[in-house]
Amino acid sequence: MDAPRFRRFGSFGASRYAKHAVLYRVRILLIAALTWLDDSQDRL
């Protein structure tokens, strides 16, 4: 994460950007976990 972006947005923008990144990461992990579970069930 680059500091200049946070400095430009300010503390509120930084917190909002961090929350957005966390939601994005959680969504990717959730999709990956679901696809992995589907694959393992298909193997069984």
Statement: residue 34 has pLDDT above 90: yes
Q: What is the pLDDT of residue 24?
A: 92
Q: pTM of whole model > 0.85? A: no
Rounded Cα–Cα distance for residues 3 and 23 (Å): 20
**Nearest alpha-carbon partner for 30 in 19, 38, 16:** 38
- In tens, the pLDDT along 1-27 reads 555 555 665 666 677 778 888 999 999
| Interatomic CA distance for residues 32 and 21, integer angstroms | 16
Question: How confident is the model at residue 11, as a pLDDT?
Answer: 67
